[in-house]
Structure 1
Amino acid sequence: MINTVIFDMDGVIVNTEPMHKASFFKHYKELGLNISEEEHDTFRGLSTKNLYQKIKEKYKVDASLEELVNRKREIFYKIFETKKDLDLLPGVRNLIESLYKENFQLILATSSAKATLSKVFTRFNLYPYFTHIVSGEDFPQSKPNPAIFLEAVRLSGNSKQNCIIIEDSTNGIKAANASDVFCIGYKNVASGDQDLSTADLVIDDFNTLTIDKIRNLVKQD
């Protein structure tokens, strides 16, 4: 029986992806890089550091990883602080509060940096609901590598059979599949062209996830 829900953040809890995308494309322009939206969509689920590592290798960018990451975050934070209408995705606060009330353990496993997730969790007062927060910056490889989800399962103290993952990106779904944990793919139109076909369940509305439905999800062999 499911008792632990592992959430991705960007595109699942809050729609910061358009702001991240705007930040990246502003930075790409500063760097003189002509990166298409289609190519950028393939980076979904990567940590900022690993994304820029790929860009440095492909486009021979001279700036250091630290310089690239810091500049992108500087652009993002300015956008985030001035985005007054930013809110949680429809239905997700009710889902989080309902799960918490029913004594589910909630864990965040996001590719976002600790500073970024801290801004989101502070702004929307989410810290009380989550027992553990795992950031992609603590891992040498990003999703689709399953390390971040395996660490979330370890921290839960439960077996994989008692956990589920909620993801919105191709790389996130692949990571969940590789971790052998039941995965719900959330279809978020703002996340770009993402392949959710290998998720165990695909939804486009959090209101369809009742407590009883979640509790009784079982991964098929």
Structure 2
Amino acid sequence: MTAVLCDMDGVIVSSEAHWKRHESQDIYPEVVPEEDVPPEETTGMYYREIYDYLDDNYGAAISREQFLELFEAAGRQIYGEEAEIVAGVPELLRDVRAEGDSVSLVTSSPHHWIDVVLDRFGLEDDFDAIVSAADVEAGKPAPDVYQRAARLAGEDPSDCIAIEDSTNGASAAKAAGAFTIGFTGVHDGIDRSIPDVVAEDVDELRELLLERV
């Protein structure tokens, strides 16, 4: 059996463009008003760790509590209203499970955001395990979330297939030892030198995934 470990943002739901807009227009101008921070720098990271990253690299102008309030407000709007399901991906993952392989959700989003997505799009029964960055010591690009997901699946990370859309996420999966598919079907924001292969759309993702499970 193979364990498929799937990211949420940019793979299951098309949320990354909304995050970039909120970050560039509403959040980062408040946190680092004198800096032009490319949202790609933090794409895929756990939002509670983004504050430390910005403070260490640019110097934060607001408190951690204020920062978290901004992110929570954006998350409620994005996951509750703006994000859309990536057509064809849930069906693909269901086909993988139908073949007897496990599918886990591995994401930097906290559980209360994950729950909104699962409920809104009817995905509550589609994953064998769910791992959030909130469950581990360090979020992506550290390998912790993928290592935990592999343990929960009862597999060595080298026997797992990760699907990621971001550089930080792909770095985490590769550091854990998983075969990594970079997915650019929603947005092309990944360093293509990191994943083992890249799928440009859902059809290509299906082909690459099913030939390995």
Structure 2 length normalisation: TM-score?
0.88
Give the RMSD, CA atoms, in angstroms: 2.1
Aligned to 2:48: 49
* Matched-pair contact (CA < 8 Å) for 1:109–1:133: yes
Amino acid of the structure 1 residue aligned with 2:200: D
Deviations 1:73-126 (A, max 9, x none): 11331344343xx43213202201211222211111101111111111111111
Aligned 1:27-106 pairs, distance under 5 A = 27-31=27-31, 33-36=33-36, 39-83=38-82, 86-106=83-103
> In the superposition, relative to structure 1, how do residues 91 and 105 fare at CA in structure 2: closer, same or farther (>3 Å)?
same
- Per the TM alignment, residue 212 of structure 1 is displaced from its structure 2 partner at its CA by 4.3
Amino acid of the structure 2 residue aligned with 1:213: E
Amino acid of the structure 1 residue aligned with 2:66: E
Aligned 1:1-221 pairs, distance under 5 A = 3-25=2-24, 26-31=26-31, 33-36=33-36, 39-83=38-82, 86-188=83-185, 190=187, 192=189, 194-208=190-204, 209-210=206-207, 212-215=210-213
* SS class of match (1:183): strand
> In the superposition, relative to structure 1, how do residues 35 and 102 fare at CA in structure 2: closer, same or farther (>3 Å)?
farther
Unpaired stretches in structure 2, ≥5 consecutive residues: none
* Matched-pair contact (CA < 8 Å) for 1:168–1:196: no
Amino acid of the structure 2 residue aligned with 1:185: G
- Per the TM alignment, residue 134 of structure 1 is displaced from its structure 2 partner at its CA by 0.6
* SS class of match (1:165): strand
* SS class of match (1:20): helix
* SS class of match (2:125): helix
- Per the TM alignment, residue 152 of structure 1 is displaced from its structure 2 partner at its CA by 0.5
| Identical aligned residues as a percent | 30
Greater RCO (CA < 8 Å, at least 6 residues apart): 1
Deviates more, 1:179-188 or 1:50-59: 50-59
Which structure 1 residue ranges, 4+ long, deviate > 4 Å from structure 2? none
* Matched-pair contact (CA < 8 Å) for 1:12–1:167: yes
> In the superposition, relative to structure 1, how do residues 212 and 120 fare at CA in structure 2: closer, same or farther (>3 Å)?
closer
* SS class of match (1:174): helix
Deviations 1:9-29 (A, max 9, x none): 101111111222222221223
Structure 1 length normalisation: TM-score?
0.85
Q: How many pairs align?
A: 210
> In the superposition, relative to structure 1, how do residues 147 and 100 fare at CA in structure 2: closer, same or farther (>3 Å)?
same
> In the superposition, relative to structure 1, how do residues 22 and 212 fare at CA in structure 2: closer, same or farther (>3 Å)?
closer
Amino acid of the structure 2 residue aligned with 1:124: F
Aligned mates of 1:144, 1:213 — CA distance in 2? 27
Aligned mates of 2:154, 2:46 — CA distance in 1? 25
> In the superposition, relative to structure 1, how do residues 80 and 165 fare at CA in structure 2: closer, same or farther (>3 Å)?
closer
Unpaired stretches in structure 1, ≥5 consecutive residues: 216-221
Deviations 1:40-61 (A, max 9, x none): 2111121101111111233332
Aligned mates of 2:79, 2:179 — CA distance in 1? 32
